[in-house]
Homo-oligomer: A and B are copies of this chain.
C-alpha cells in the first residue's frame, strides 16, 4: 500500500474517467443522455455522428463507467450511470465557463445575445404556485416524456410557431429547456416576444433541476 506504483495506477484509473470527458463529441452525448435514455442511432443523428463513431464514443463512456445500457429488442438504450454523472458534467461545464475565457466566449456565441429575460428556479416555482405564469417545455417531446417540471406543457421549439395559439395571450410564458448551456429556451423566448407574447426563460433547465432534486413528473 501507498507505494508509487499503486499511486500511479490509481491516478491513471481516475484519468480514464477524465479522458472520457476530453472529447467534445462525448460531452455532447452526455448532454443528450442527461435528458433521458436514448438508442445509439438516435444519439448518432442527434449529435451528427457516424453510427460507428458514435458507438465507439459510447464504448469509451461505458468503459469509464459513466453510462449504462439496457437492451430492448434489437435496440440498445444508453443512459447515464447515475445522477452523480450529470452533476460531474454540470460542474465541468460551470468550471469551464467560469475559468476558461475561450469556453465562455464559445458559450456566448452559441447562446446568442443576452436579449432575453431570465428567472431563476425559485421564482418559477413561486409563480407557478401562484398560477400567474405557464411553464413551457420547448425540448423535443421525447425528452419531455422522460421527465419534466410539474405543470409544464410540452411545445417543442420546432412546433412553437404553429402552435403559438395554444397559449393564452395574456399569461406570461416561462420557457425552459435542457440546461444553462442549451439554446432552445433563448430561441423560444425570442420567437414568442416577436409575436407579442409576454415570455421569459428559466435561467437554467432540466439538468440543474434534476441535479438539485426538485420534483419531476415522468
Contact = CB atoms under 8 A, between A and B. Distances in A.
B24 A103 contact: no
Tell me how many chains of this kind the complex includes.
Answer: 2
A158 to B, nearest CB: 12
Nearest to A190: B1
Nearest to A17: B96
Given A1-B110, A65-B99, A92 B17 contact: yes
A106 B14 CA distance: 9
A22 B19 contact: yes
A174 to B, nearest CB: 20
A9 interface: yes
Contact of A22 (B18, B94, B102): B18
A169 interface: no
Nearest to A6: B110
A160 interface: no
Q: Which of A9, A10, A27 has the most CB of B within 10 A?
A: A10
A15 B27 CA distance: 7
Interface residues of A, number: 61
A77 interface: no
Interface in A37-78: 48, 64-66
Contacts of A112: 1-2
A210 interface: no
Please name the 6 residue pairs, one residue from A and one from B, whose CB atoms are nearest each other, closest first.
A1-B112, A18-B21, A65-B99, A11-B24, A65-B100, A19-B22
8 contacts: A1-B112, A6-B109, A7-B183, A10-B181, A15-B26, A85-B95, A85-B99, A87-B91
Interface of A: 1-2, 4, 6-28, 31, 48, 64-66, 81-82, 84-85, 87-88, 91-96, 98-103, 105-107, 109-113, 181, 183, 186-187
